[in-house]
Structures are given as C-alpha cells and as structure tokens.
C-alpha cells in the first residue's frame, strides 16, 4: 500500500493544506474556521518576515511562513506537502513561528526527491507537535534539514519516519534556550536492498533545567545501509539537565549494515545524561517458536518487525497512515 496515497487521503480531512512544489505554493483551506494558523508564501512577506528568520533563509526562494497565534482553539492539524515540480526545481523552505503560550500540530509530507529546509521557533510556553513522513524513490535522494529553537517552558514533540525505495538524509538541530524547555524526538528509518537512510539528531542544552529525549530506530535489510548520528551538547552553565539518547537497530540478512554513534558532549557537572545503542539480527529462537505454531517464516518475521517499529509508527496518530507504513514495512522487509 502506497504511503503517499494514504497521506493524501489523510490531509483531505485536515482544515488547511499547504503544498510547496518547485516554484509554486498552493494553500487549500478546507474549513472556514479561524484556526489561528496563518500561512503566507515567503515571497509575499519578504519585508515583514521577522529578522530571526530572514537572516536564516532565502526569502526570495520558494516556501511558506507559518505563524501560530491564538491557535489554542484549533481542532485540526496543518498539513504541509513538499515536492518538486515538473522541472525538479530547488529547495522548499518552511518557516514556523509559534508565539508564546500557543500550540499546534503540523504534519509534513515530504515527497520523493524533494529538498526541504525547516526553521522553527517556539516562544515562551509554546507547544508544537511536528510529525513527518519522508518518502523516496529508487535512484533518488530526499533531504530534510531542520533548525529548531525553544524559549523557556516551550515543548516540542518530533516524529520523523523515512520510508520508500530510495535514499533519505534527514538532519535536526534542536536548541533549548530557555529554562524548563523540553524536547522529545522519535525517529525511524528503514533501508531495504540497495538503499541508504541517514538520520542526524543534535540537541543543544544551553541553559539549566531543560530535558530532552531522543529515541531513533533503524531497520536495514538485504544490502541496505542505515546511519544514525546523535549528539547531546550540554553547555557549561546548563546545570540540572536531563538528556537521554537511545539508538536501536534491527538487521535482516548478513549483508545489511547500520552504523550508529550516539554521543554526549557535557560541560556541566550536575546533570543526568545517558546514551546507548544496539544493533542485532532478528531473534532466531523467536522466529522458530512462531513457526512451530503454524506461521510461515515470512509471517513470523513480519510480526517481529511490526513489534520493533510499532511504537514509533503509532505516534503518527492517523490510523490510515500508520497502517500504510506498517504494510510497507512488512512487504518490503519481512521476506529479505
């Protein structure tokens, strides 16, 4: 089942859908409700864009500015679909400004072959749920770069899932700049035969009393290659930091490879920080046990794979999209 098709069905029920494709930006409003999420093409707000953003992105390029203000009453998420036009043109830029004490949910659908840059700022006490599915096609590369900054008491929850038959490179830099800010990042990449999936996650604790969690899972099969690079940086004055980083990876077949390197760089002495990584094959004993109870080898591997990725995929929330991702995983990986 096609993940992008499922995602397209999902966004039909969402209040607002923004499509950024090559040189064009389209905004489709499916509801007359005032959601408090204002979406403006970058070219139309070149002179009014806050300096924080104008110094970080090309305001003359293709992209959108999302302003979240008075949005606590919004019942629906915003969907942003990034893709290339017929000419395969350039990079899409998405700028998100969540004003103090506001909250929102934004779902990113990044189509195969697209290059997307995201710059996100959360004001004091703001909250954002940032979910994304990154697709790829054979022989192509999809790239996503994200820069995120949080003020005091702000919170962000990130879900990022890289799928498809091509290569995906995604990078995230989250900076906690105000006390009591917190970040949670849940990621998943799946690389089948001949594919490469890379995920880079950096979290910067710049002030005291902040908390972060990073959990990234990877699956590689056949000659697939996956890579996780993680870094938690704790500044000298960032006392009472809590930071946890975990990388878990599953190999299917003797030629599959995953390289994982979770790291800590700590310059404060009163902190709670940990990191860990595992890379292993499917449990042969568990597969044998299930086959003794009537399951085929493919069915048994499929169940083991589902159990491994399920907790991350379920965080997408929408049942149709979850089902599509799970079915793709089972069909492309369980028989390797």
Give tens-digit pLDDT for 166-218.
999 999 999 999 999 999 999 999 999 999 999 999 999 999 999 999 999 99
Tell me, yes or no, whether 299 lies in a domain.
Answer: no
Judge whether 278 lies within some domain.
yes
Q: Which pTM does this prediction carry?
A: 0.90
Q: What is the predicted pLDDT for the residue at 125?
A: 97
Task: Determine, yes or no, domain membership for 304.
Answer: no
Mean pLDDT of 305-315: 87
Q: What is the pLDDT of residues 265-275, one digit of tens each?
A: 999 999 999 99
Pairwise CA distance, residues 308 & 56, whole Å:
38
Domain count for the chain: 1
Q: How many other β-carbons are positioned within 10 Å of the β-carbon of residue 294?
A: 8
Give the residue, 200 or 11, on which the prediction is more confident: 200
Alpha-carbon span 97 to 39, nearest angstrom: 11
Average pLDDT over the chain reads 85
**Greater model confidence, 221 or 28:** 221
Residue 7 has pLDDT above 80, yes or no: no
Domain that holds residue 98: 3-282
The answer to the question of residue 320 being in a domain is no
Strands of the 24-29 sheet, one edge to the other? 24-29, 16-21, 78-83, 103-110, 127-134, 155-162, 182-191, 211-221, 242-252, 272-281
The separation between the first and the last C-alpha atoms of the chain, rounded to the nearest angstrom, is 18
For residue 94, being part of any structural domain is answered with yes
Predicted local confidence at residue 25, as pLDDT: 73
Q: Is the pLDDT of residue 80 over 70?
A: yes
The answer for residues whose C-beta is within 8 angstroms of residue 43's C-beta and 6 or more apart is 25, 59, 60
pLDDT of residue 336: 47
Does residue 313 sit in helix, strand or coil?
Answer: helix
Q: Report yes or no on 202 lying in a domain.
A: yes
Res 43 pLDDT > 90: no
| Domain contains 288 | no
How remote is the C-alpha of 287 from its chain's centroid? 31
Asked whether residue 311 is assigned to any structural domain, the reply reads no
């Amino acid at each position: 089942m096609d993940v992008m098709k499922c995602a397209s069905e999902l966004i039909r029920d969402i209040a607002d859908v923004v499509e950024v494709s090559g040189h064009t930006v389209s905004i489709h409003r499916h509801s007359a409700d005032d959601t408090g999420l204002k979406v403006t093409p970058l070219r139309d707000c070149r002179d009014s864009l806050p300096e924080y953003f104008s110094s970080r992105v090309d305001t003359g390029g293709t992209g959108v500015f999302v302003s979240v203000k008075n949005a606590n009453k919004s019942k629906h998420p915003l969907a942003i679909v990034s893709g290339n036009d017929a000419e395969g043109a350039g990079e899409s830029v998405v700028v998100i400004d969540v004003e103090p004490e506001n909250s929102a949910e934004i779902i990113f659908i990044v189509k195969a072959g697209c290059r997307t840059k995201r710059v996100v700022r959360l004001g004091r006490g703001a909250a954002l749920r940032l979910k994304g599915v990154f697709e790829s096609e054979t022989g192509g590369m999809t790239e996503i770069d994200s820069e995120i900054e949080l003020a005091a008491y702000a919170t962000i929850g990130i879900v990022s899932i890289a799928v498809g038959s091509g290569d995906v490179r995604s990078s995230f830099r989250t900076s906690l700049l105000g006390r009591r800010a917190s970040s949670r990042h849940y990621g998943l990449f799946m690389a089948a035969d001949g594919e490469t999936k890379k995920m880079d996650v950096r979290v910067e604790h710049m002030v005291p009393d902040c908390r972060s969690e990073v959990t990234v899972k990877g699956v590689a099969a056949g000659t697939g290659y996956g890579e996780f690079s993680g870094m938690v940086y704790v500044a000298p004055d960032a006392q009472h930091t809590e930071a946890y980083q975990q990388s878990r990876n599953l190999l299917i077949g003797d030629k599959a490879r995953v390289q994982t390197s979770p790291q800590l760089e700590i310059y404060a002495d009163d902190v709670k920080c940990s990191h860990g990584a595992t890379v292993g094959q499917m449990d042969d004993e568990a597969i044998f046990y299930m086959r003794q109870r009537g399951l085929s080898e493919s069915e048994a591997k499929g169940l083991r794979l589902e159990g491994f990725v399920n907790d991350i995929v379920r965080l997408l929330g929408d049942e149709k999209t979850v089902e599509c991702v799970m079915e793709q995983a089972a069909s492309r990986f369980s028989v390797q």
